[in-house]
Amino acid sequence: MTTPMLVGFDVEPDGLNIPRHEMRRWTGFERSLELVTPLRDRLEKITSMPVHFSWYLRMDPQITDVYGSTTWVAETYGAELAALSDHGDELGLHPHALRWDSRADHWLTDVDSQAWVEDCVRRSFEAYERAFGRACRSHRFGDRFMSNAIVRLLRDLGVAVDLTLEPGRGPQSDPYVNSLIPDQTDVPRRPYHPDPSDFKRPTNDAGDDLWMFPLSSANPDPALPIWRRGGRRVRHVGQPLHRPVLLWAPWPSKVLWDIVTRDVESKALTVLPFMIRADTLLNDDWARQFEAHMAALAEHRLGREVVFTTPSAVADAIRS
C-alpha cells in the first residue's frame, strides 16, 4: 500500500511587493531547480520508482504589469519547464489578485472585488493554454484565499485539483490584502469535492470532477516543548490542534515524519500535499532544513510507503 505524496513549488517572483519597473529574474525558482535535481535522483535510487514534483506558475496581471507578458515565465524559463515536464512533473497555476495601488505606492491583493479575482484566474488560464498548448488541470490561489465563486469558476474551467486550503489555519488579516483571509480551521484534512454553497464542506456528488486537496496538516505537539503544548491546548480549547506541516520547519526531521506517519496510519491523512514558495529556499537555513527533511524521509519508514506523484495523477486514479 502506498500513500501519494505531492511536493509542489510556487514559481513566482522573489516576494510579492516587487518593484514595478524592474524585470528581475526569479532566483527562488532557479534555486529550487538546483536543489530538486539531486533530490530527485537520490529519491529515485532509494525508492526504485519515478519521482514527480509539481510547479505552480504565476501568469496573472501583476506579471503582465511588471514583465510585459503574462507568459513571461514560460518564455524565460521555457527550457527548464520543458525539462520538468519531460520528467513527468506537473505544471499548474498559482494566480494572485495583486494590483498596483497608486495612492499607497505598493501592490495590494484585491480580493474584495470578485470581478477582479475572476479576471486574474481567467487570464492565468488563458495564458497557460497559449504557452503550453493545453488546459491547466491543477490550481492553487495566492494568499490561501478561496471563495465559492472561485470554486464555481474552477469547475467551469475544467480544473481537476485545487491545492489552496490549509486546514487548521484561522482567519488572517494582512495590511496588503483588502479582505480577511477566510477561516480554514475546520476544512477537511482529506481530499473532497467542495459543496457549491460552501467550499469548506464536502459534497456527496460522485459526478463532481473538482477535488480539493487540502495541504498536509498535523498536530505539532510532539515537536514542541512541554510548556508550548500546554499553552496551545489552553489557547485552542475546543478547536483542532493540527496545523499545516512545513517542509522547512525547524523540527528534528525524524519527529516531523513520525508525526505525519501517525496520521497516515490512522487514515486521518490519505494524500500528502506539501507546498513551498520557491523563494523560501533562498534562505540558507530553510533550504538546509528542507534538504534535511527530505533526506530523512528517504530513510524513514514512511519513505518506503509513499509515491511521489502529481495532483492530476492522483485525481485520475481516484476517478478510475
pLDDT digits (tens, 9 = 90+) for 267-298: 999 999 999 999 999 999 999 999 999 999 98
pLDDT exceeds cutoff 60 at 1? no
Cα–Cα distance for residue pair 35/45, rounded to 1 Å: 16
224 falls in which pLDDT band (50, 70, 90)?
confident
* CA 9/CA 73 separation, integer angstroms: 14
pLDDT of residue 156: 96
pLDDT for residue 265: 95
Work out the end-to-end distance of the chain between its first and last CA atoms, rounded to an integer number of angstroms.
17
pLDDT at 153 over 70: yes
Q: What is the pLDDT of residue 227?
A: 65
If one counts every other C-beta atom within 10 angstroms of the C-beta of residue 86, the result is 8
pLDDT at site 53: 98
Work out the average pLDDT over 156-172.
95
Please report the DSSP string for 50-87 in residue order: ----EEEE--SHHHHHHHS-TTHHHHHSHHHHHHHHHT
With beta carbons less than 8 A apart as the criterion, state whether 100 and 109 touch.
no
pLDDT of residue 239: 74
Q: What residue segments make up the domains of the chain, in order of their start?
A: 3-319
Q: Phi, psi at residue 90, to the nearest 5°?
A: -100, 135
Task: Indicate the pLDDT class of residue 201, thresholds 50, 70 and 90.
Answer: very high
The reported pLDDT for the residue numbered 68 is 96
Show the DSSP H helices in the chain as ranges.
27-47, 61-67, 72-76, 78-86, 114-132, 148-156, 226-235, 253-265, 284-299, 311-319
- Output the CA torsion sign for 243, 244, 250, 253: positive
**Secondary structure class of 201 (helix, strand, coil):** strand
Task: Take residue 308 and report the three cell numbers written for it.
Answer: 511521489
Which tens digits make up the pLDDT trace of 82-110?
A: 999 999 999 999 999 999 999 989 999 99
Q: What angle do CA 76, 86, 89 make, to 5 degrees?
A: 85
Q: Which three cell numbers stand for residue 289?
A: 532544513
d(CA 146, CA 169): 13
What is the chain's mean pLDDT, rounded?
Answer: 93
Q: What percent of the chain has pLDDT over 90?
A: 81
pLDDT > 70? residue 61: yes
pLDDT recorded at residue 208: 82
pLDDT of the residue at 231: 67
| 307 pLDDT higher than 60 | yes
User: Is the Cβ–Cβ distance between 244 and 216 less than 8 Å?
Assistant: yes
Residue scoring higher pLDDT (181 or 257): 257
Q: At what angle do helices 114-132 and 148-156 cross, to 10 degrees?
A: 30
Which residues, in sequence order, are CB contacts of 186 under 8 Å at separation 6+? 167, 200, 240
pLDDT-derived band at 230, boundaries 50, 70, 90? low
Does 190 have pLDDT greater than 60?
Answer: yes
Grid cell, residue 245, equals: 506541516
- Rounded CA-CA distance 188/210 in Å is 15
Bridge partner list, 1 = none
Residue 29 CB: number of other CB atoms within 10 A? Answer: 26
Q: Under a CB-based contact definition with an 8 Å cutoff, are residues 49 and 313 in contact?
A: no
pLDDT exceeds 90 at position 134: yes
pLDDT tens per residue across span 6-20: 999 999 999 989 999
Q: CATH for 3-319, among 3.10.450.100, 1.10.390.10, 3.20.20.370, 3.30.750.24? A: 3.20.20.370
Is residue 55 a contact partner of residue 8, using CB atoms and an 8 Å limit? yes
d(CA 263, CA 217): 9
